[in-house]
Chain A
Amino acid sequence: MKNIFYALLFSLVSTGIFAAGPCNVSGGKINILANEFTTYRIFMDEVKKCAGSEADFNVTHSVDHNKLQVAALSANPAEFSAKLVTNGSITTLMNDGLIRPLDDLVGKYGGDLINDNQKITIDGKIYAVAFMANAQHLWYRESILNELGIAVPSTYEEVIEASKKIQASGKMANPYGAAFQAGWNLGQEFVNMYLGHGGEFFKAGSAELNINNDQGIATLNMLKRLTEVANPDFLTQDTNAVKEEWESGNLALMHIWNSGAASILDDEGDQMIKADTRLAPSPSVAGGSKPATTLWWDGFGIATNTSDEEAEASFRALLGAATSTEMANNNPNATIWLIKGYSPGDTAGPVVDAANRGATPYPSLPHMSLLHGALSTEIVEFLQGNESAQKALDDVEAAYIAKAEEQGFL
């Protein structure tokens, strides 16, 4: 799998001309549910353009999209004909069979417009088409590391060492930042670090939990050590807060989303800090080879409970945008587009690196979100120093089992 991603991004200087693409949908009803953020807005503008003026085009951007999706797509006919999904959110739709296989539509319109690895294939059938990728990775302040003679850390052990050096130099009190906010963010940090330790979340082929082991303990201890060099308010800091800390010059190292690049490197705020900001690959941990981060893709799926005409119209409009080289190259730093002919911006490097070094995609398992939820709350007391790592893992396990039993997975 290693070089597919690399090849996709860098070797595909566009060849074809997309004259008769899937665009120019004549009429039809298109109603899309999507998350709310800038890159999706850019994408949706393109979808709208592609749908043309005759189509009845609607899109709802909602931060609660995950909460709406099951109810909205279960209704028959479904409220929305299409939904933008990620490897995190697609599983809920798959669990209830709410998105349809796209093989015939891909066959009809996809052709050589899309790469094989853009096709999200489950049990031999295509259920979604991916168009962008994201991951968390390291960021550092070049001048500060240079001044103290610190090499760019490539492992978390080095991150801690470097942070301690910066602390000792008196330059910064809490030089490391990551989104440790209790809740989804904190759960995500555990997921990253546990995968970095080479852990498996579940016993093979079942929904039985497998984190109550040495790797789990090591993961928690590593998180604890990182929070010790982070701002004491770490349990309240989400990605936005970490970015503010960064832009105010309070951090020298941070581990956050690549998608933040556009706003961190823009021309607002303190330009001295921005000019000094560098991106680096995500560190590995505990002697492992793969970086302790998860890879994410964003794509679209088409509702099962919608008429074939609407499905086709929606698919064409979305595919039109998902193959628009023009959109991708006009907004090279908005995200990492998985679009043929896209030449990535200068901030894509760390994500490509993570993919090449074998970082694990965020698990698209039916019961993963139950575990993520249990992690979000149950490891907090350990990080506050109120309980042992073993107790925290016991708690996670107990909370997960209660949830999974209620949902019928155990």
Chain B
Amino acid sequence: MESKINKYSKQLIILNSIFIIFWLVISVFPFIWTFWGSFKVKADFFSRADWMYAVNGFHTFIETGSTSTLIAYIDSWTEGEFWRAAKNTIIITVSVVTISLFLGTLGAYALSRSTYKYTFWILIAALIFRAMPHITLVSGYLFPFFQLNIWGILPTTIIVLVAINQPFTLWLLYSFFKTVPKELDESALIDGCSYFQAFRYVIMPVMWPGVITAGLFSLMLAYNDFTVTSLLLNQQNYTMVPKINAYLGTVEYGGNYMWAVACVVSATAPLFMIIMFFQRQLISGLTTGAVKG
């Protein structure tokens, strides 16, 4: 496999490295800034006088006796009950990703393998569904959900997030299944497999890059969603994002900005782990050997 394809000229490597470093700086810098600032007090990180305060921790030193402090983390996780939000987020994220992928792979496989006209129209309908602004959808849910007494609980939010995410998942996986040659499962069908068996034994082993990509986006949606979670959950069931937003306060009353900043950093750490874990699947080329066009 490591053939000439992966040999590069020196200029290309240098150019490439410069570009990647440049790109990384642009992408990562705001986050590093946030990370660094999360150990400062508000007067430093949100200073309107001089941004150097955020670097050297001028007020942090005056207030805490040290140039960096963990106080925002400790307070937000204990007093701010951020742990509860973290727990809810895990429940919602795991459920949404699992259910989304389960429904999405089945549906998208069917769409990619059916040759009837209606599949095209289903895909178009899915797009139209996706065009609907979430805020209108969610506001429309409120009355029926309160009436049915299913507002505020986690399962409702999970199903709503799955449904809202379906058009995207379907389209993404549809595009991916299109790149998997039909001959693969057709030969399995000729060998006497049912469609489900062909899906299970022939397609599933080669669909991982697509599924992991779709999973990554479902995860991001469930993890970062604000519109749905802020309006459909009650206090006990808040996930991290509405919780963080709550720390920002309201018009008349100031919030606790540093809690929000510390929680953003806390909320990003698990994502780092997940991506470090799955990048191996993304890279290991499960399909590069298997799929030959």
List residues of A whose CB falls within 8 A of some B CB: 35-39, 58-64, 67-68, 71-72, 74-76, 78-79, 134, 179, 184-185, 238-240, 243-245, 247-250, 257, 259-260, 263, 267-270, 296
Contacts and interface: CB of A to CB of B under 8 A. Distances in A.
A75 B230 contact: no
B232 to A, nearest CB: 9
Interface string B154-170: 00000000000000000
Contacts of A60: 152, 234-235
A243 B248 CA distance: 14
Contact of A68 (B48, B142, B249): B142
B143 A245 contact: no
B250 A37 contact: yes
Interface of B: 41-43, 46-49, 59, 63, 139, 142-143, 145-147, 149, 151-152, 230-231, 234-236, 242, 245-246, 248-255, 257
B252 A134 contact: yes
Given A239-B254, A244-B48, A248-B48, A61 B246 contact: yes
A73 to B, nearest CB: 8
29 contacts: A37-B249, A58-B236, A59-B235, A60-B152, A60-B234, A62-B242, A63-B230, A67-B139, A67-B142, A67-B231, A71-B143, A72-B142, A74-B143, A79-B152, A243-B254, A244-B46, A244-B48, A245-B48, A247-B48, A249-B49, A259-B252, A259-B253, A260-B253, A260-B254, A268-B41, A268-B59, A268-B63, A270-B43, A296-B252
B59 A37 contact: no
Contacts of B231: 64, 67-68
A289 B202 CA distance: 83
B43 A268 contact: yes
Given A61-B235, A240-B257, A250-B48, 9 more contacts: A36-B246, A37-B250, A63-B246, A67-B142, A75-B143, A79-B152, A240-B249, A244-B47, A248-B48
A contact patch SS: mixed
Contact of B245 (A58, A63, A259, A270): A63
A250 B43 contact: no
Given A64-B231, A244-B46, A72 B146 contact: yes
Given A58-B235, A59-B235, A250-B48, A75 B254 contact: no
Contacts of B234: 58, 60
A269 B42 contact: yes
Contacts of B149: 75, 79
A74 B146 contact: yes
A58 B151 CA distance: 14
A72 B255 CA distance: 26
A310 to B, nearest CB: 14
B178 to A, nearest CB: 41
A93 B251 CA distance: 21
**In the complex, which of the residues A58, A185, A238, A247 has the most CB atoms of chain B within 10 Å of its own CB atom?**
A247
Given A39-B253, A79-B146, A134-B252, A268 B42 contact: yes
Contact of A239 (B235, B246, B251): B251
**In the complex, which of the residues A74, A240, A243, A257 has the most CB atoms of chain B within 10 Å of its own CB atom?**
A240
A72 B254 contact: no
A37 B252 contact: yes
B291 to A, nearest CB: 47
**In the complex, which of the residues A75, A134, A179 has the most CB atoms of chain B within 10 Å of its own CB atom?**
A75
Nearest to B235: A60
A270 B59 contact: yes
A371 to B, nearest CB: 17
Contact of A36 (B59, B151, B250): B250
A102 to B, nearest CB: 23
**In the complex, which of the residues B59, B142, B231 has the most CB atoms of chain A within 10 Å of its own CB atom?**
B142
A42 to B, nearest CB: 11
A248 B49 contact: yes
A410 B117 CA distance: 49
B253 A62 contact: no
Contacts of A260: 252-254
Given A36-B246, A248-B49, A269-B42, A239 B252 contact: yes
A58 B233 CA distance: 13
A402 B254 CA distance: 34
Nearest to A40: B253
A67 B138 CA distance: 11
A79 B231 CA distance: 14
Contacts of A63: 230, 245-246, 250
Given A62-B230, A67-B139, A71-B143, A247 B43 contact: yes
Contact of A71 (B142, B252, B253, B255): B142
Nearest to A249: B49
A269 B252 contact: no
**In the complex, which of the residues B42, B234, B248, B251 has the most CB atoms of chain A within 10 Å of its own CB atom?**
B251
A368 to B, nearest CB: 16
Contacts of B249: 36-37, 240
A179 to B, nearest CB: 8
Nearest to A67: B231
A179 B255 CA distance: 16
Nearest to A79: B146
Given A36-B246, A63-B246, A250-B49, A71 B251 contact: no
A355 B192 CA distance: 86
Contacts of A245: 48
Closest 10 A/B residue pairs (Cβ): A71-B142, A37-B253, A75-B146, A269-B43, A248-B48, A248-B49, A60-B235, A263-B254, A257-B252, A60-B234
A263 B253 CA distance: 9
A407 to B, nearest CB: 15
A75 B147 contact: yes
A58 B49 CA distance: 42
A245 to B, nearest CB: 5
B90 to A, nearest CB: 21
A79 B235 CA distance: 13
A240 B47 CA distance: 12
A269 B42 CA distance: 8
Contacts of B253: 37-39, 257, 259-260
